[in-house]
Chains A and B, each alone.
Chain A
Amino acid sequence: MRHLLLGNEAIAYGALSAGVAVAAGYPGTPSSEIIETLEEYKDRFVEWATNEKTAVEMAYGAALAGARALAAMKHVGLNVAADPLHSAAYTGVVGGFLIVTADDPNMWSSQNEQDSRWYGLQSYIPVLEPSEPQEAFKMAKEGLLLSESLEHPVMLRSVTRLSHVRAPVDVEPPAPPKFGKFSRNMEKYVLVPQNARARRADLLKKWERIADIAARFISVEGDGPVTVVTSGVGYLYAVEAVERLRVKATIIKASMSVPLPRKILDLIRGDAVVVEEGDPVVETQLRILGVRTRGKLDGFFPRMGELSLRSVIEGVSKALNLGVKLPEPPRPPLQPPPRPPYFCPGCPHMGTFYALKLAAAGHNVVWSGDIGCYTLGINTGQQDLATHMGSSVGLGMGIAVADKEKLVIATIGDSTFYHAALPQLVDLKTKRIPMVVVIMDNEYTAMTGGQPSPSKLIPAEKLAEAVGLKHYAMDPADLKKSIEVAKKAIADAKSGEPVVVVSRRPCILEAYRTARRSGVRPPKYYVVADKCKACGICYNVLRCYAITRLPDGKAWIDPSLCNGCSMCAQVCPYDAIKTEDPERARKWLELWSRA
């Protein structure tokens, strides 16, 4: 039976059909659906880890014990996991160990555009690169089994245009999970210098053997005079571009794009046009092998963003001097205003930022931000930086010691806090850095679709308590009290003390789902037009997405968007925002706090 499957789902089913027994990951777009799919299979150990390093460790350890294991993450997550990744190549594994990374060219949901394949070259781990969901299924299965036969980790590199593409896939049923037994092997697994040196020598030999195996992953289509070398989704665009341009070409597809086998030289005639998604990784290897290439290194194809059929047609045309001009895209008859993402109406973060803004008025604040929904604090000017997981507390501390004039307010979500800011919490105390750390606990990993967060089991205030940090609790749906709490915390930081605020209320989307299941209809708020004085506090300062500024400056609440949070009614100085049934509104606030 053919199903319309996401690339990520296909990867999960591929691993299942290879008998994966242990799978771990940390949510991150575009990779999250891999673990989500595997989670349904209760006969195996599948988990959302606290971060990518613990995910890779979980899978690596399981593979050392002979189990078939998978770790899944987005490209930047692999940075967090880089330490165990490199050791895995040195020790090798007993059971299959597949590391799946999903890269995000064009940075649709990421802070950078790094290409995970470099990690393959750097760590001596071969990289498989499927181009579409059916192949992702096949390669996830093959990759896991190949890893076991090589006793070596294997990477599978996906990209947004594979992970988040749905296509028909024939799936095979899951194989029983293969768990294992750990056997001692000190010379291999204890990487003291004398052992590590022996492992290094062994690794280099193994890498030669893997390069020979890579030749098995090369396929060739057509036998035209023009050579096009492709990998991953680049293959799809190349086939279509060559067809549209009516070029007679030999299309070489390297499904194992790291390492590239020397044997590929036998297939290349003259210069090679290279089409690949991401950095010129295949092209660089071809150059090292002595091939003259026309790809991204000399600007035939764009170095940033994603490939498109258009850019590949133009690139192939440039590389072959065809002089093809594509029709210009039509211009819209009217330029629409941009629609940047906002907090969902009723998002607890909206309340936290509102309270912080009012409490911090008059202070010289650095808003030290982080990765997650709350990066949208940018819309109210409350994110001065957001660079990587944990940047709010980590970089905030650096700023606080470098510039003592400023008040640093770090804003970080719960999942990101557990992922990346626990050691910082210790530093904050031991170095006594005066700043405010606001943990915005919505009890879910909301940005990536509401995966669980450790916060329900291990509340952040308990950790602050254990470290010995002063801490306050905040309910962001109660704005007046939240402002008071924020003022106290700011006063502490100004007097030289590090302080933690835990602002807790569940993600409103999750609460909404719970409400629907229990038959509760959240209330709607509306503006009494006669009372509205067009001050704009609701749509400019609170900035709720459901509230529109009408041409006369008055506010209007879109009932189809309102989630009934009541925050606008709280901020309105003219008492112009009402709800039909205050009792229902009170019940909803109560249900929401327990979602």
Chain B
Amino acid sequence: MVTSIVVVGVGGQGVMTLARWIGRAALAAGYDVKIAEVHGLSQRGGSVEVHVRFGERVYGPVVSEADADYVAALEALEALRAFKYIKEGGVLVVNKRIIQIPGRYVDPEQVYAALSSYARTRFIPAFDIAVKLGDPIYENSVIFGFMARMLGLDGYVDWLDARNLKAFEEGRKLASS
């Protein structure tokens, strides 16, 4: 059995780091892992998409449409863009944050309402939690905590540094409740 996760967000949000953390926890848990940086022009501000697959033996590095067990989005517009990856019954985890696109303002409430129409959407106030912890930079750690708990990998993060671990715990608590 292979678990397929699509991690998306906007350049500068730490999408790649989040994907690597998930991969590292899976490796520590004894799984085979592949992490594919699918999209990102190595620029800040563009859409970034990284695929993580783990299991006993992982062959293909990329997650196909309608084949992801989880989509983890650090930004809500990117969650919409990655919607095509969710397989039947798959879970959509969304950081409650919108990074507007120049000249293309969208109403956040409309975006959140649209995402809520999918039954298995989980909103995480990761941005707000991270700001409370002192820096928006920790929003990916909050999502990591949530995802790690959902994936049963939360026991394999002893390598995470203290400050990220604090944010991680906040996310993990949300998944446990």
A contact set with B: CB distance below 8 Å: 2, 4, 29, 108-109, 132, 161, 164-168, 233, 236-237, 239-240, 306, 308-310, 326-342, 344-345, 373, 376, 447-449, 509, 539-540, 543-545, 547-551, 558, 560-561
Instruction: State how many angstroms separate the Cβ of B56 from the closest Cβ of chain A.
Output: 13
From the candidates B10, B20, B35, name the one contacting A339 in the complex (CB within 8 A): B10
Cβ-defined contact, A308 with B62, below 8 A: yes
In contact, A331 and B83 (Cβ under 8 angstroms): yes
Identify which of A326, A333, A335 contacts B115 (C-beta below 8 A). Answer: A333
Minimal beta-carbon separation of B151 from chain A (angstroms): 16
Chain B residues closer than 8 Å to A109, beta-carbon distance? 41-42
Please, which residues of chain A bring their CB within 8 A of the CB of B34? 132, 165-167
Cβ-defined contact, A161 with B62, below 8 A: yes
Which residues of chain A come closer than 8 Å to B106, judged between CB atoms? Answer: 336-337
Complex contact B43–A548 (CB within 8 A): no
**Size of B's binding interface in residues, CB under 8 A:** 56
Decide yes or no: A327 and B102 within 8 Å by CB, A108-B39, A166-B20, A339-B47 being known contacts: no
Residues in A neighbouring B62, C-beta threshold 8 A: 161, 306, 308-309
* A509 to B103 alpha-carbon distance, docked (Å): 23
Stretch at the interface among B73-81, B141-149, B164-172: B73-81
8 Å CB interface, B47-92 against A: 47, 58-67, 77-78, 80-81, 83-88
Q: A residues within 8 A CB of B86?
A: 330
Instruction: State in angstroms the CA–CA spacing of A495 and B53 once bound together.
Output: 61
Interface centre among B10, B47, B100 (most CB of A within 10 A): B100
Q: Which residues in B have some Cβ–Cβ distance to A below 8 Å?
A: 10-12, 20, 23-24, 27, 32-37, 39, 41-47, 58-67, 77-78, 80-81, 83-88, 99-106, 110-111, 114-115, 117-118, 136
Q: Residue B45 contacts which of A166, A335, A341 (CB distance < 8 angstroms)?
A: A341
The complex places the Cα of A331 from the Cα of B118 at a distance, in Å, of 11
- How distant is A125 from chain B, measured CB to nearest CB, in Å? 27
Contacts of A548 in B (CB 8 A): 100, 102, 105
* CB of A142 to closest CB in B, whole Å: 22
24 contacts between A and B (CB under 8 A): A4-B20, A4-B27, A4-B33, A132-B34, A164-B36, A165-B35, A165-B61, A166-B35, A166-B36, A233-B61, A240-B59, A327-B88, A331-B84, A333-B80, A339-B46, A339-B47, A339-B77, A509-B44, A539-B102, A539-B103, A540-B103, A543-B102, A545-B45, A550-B105
Closest to A326 in B: B66
Do A240 and B80 form a contact, CB below 8 Å, given A342-B102, A344-B43? no
Task: From A310, A328, A448, A547, give the contact of B102 (CB < 8 A).
Answer: A547
Asked if B110 and A336 make an inter-chain contact with CB atoms under 8 angstroms apart, the answer reads no
> Closest CB of chain B to A25's CB: distance in Å?
16
Most buried by B among A164, A233, A448: A164
Q: How far is the CA of A329 from the CA of B82 in the complex (A)?
A: 10
| Closest A residue to B83 using CB positions | A332
Contacting residue for A341 out of B24, B43, B66, B84, CB 8 A: B43
Cα A344 to Cα B12 in complex, Å, equals: 10
Task: Select which of B67, B78, B111 is within 8 A of A310 by beta carbon.
Answer: B67
Known: A108-B39, A132-B34, A331-B84. A337 touches B64 (CB 8 A): no
Residues of B contacting A333 with CB < 8 Å? 80, 83, 114-115, 117-118
Q: In chain A, what residue has the closest Cβ to B44?
A: A344
Please report the C-alpha to C-alpha distance between residue A308 and residue B65 in the assembled complex, in whole angstroms.
Answer: 9
Pairs A-B, 6 closest by C-beta atoms = A329-B65, A334-B114, A332-B83, A310-B64, A341-B46, A329-B84
Q: Which of A168, A328, A335, A345 contacts B33 (CB 8 A)?
A: A168
On whether the beta carbons of A334 and B102 are closer than 8 Å, the reply is: no
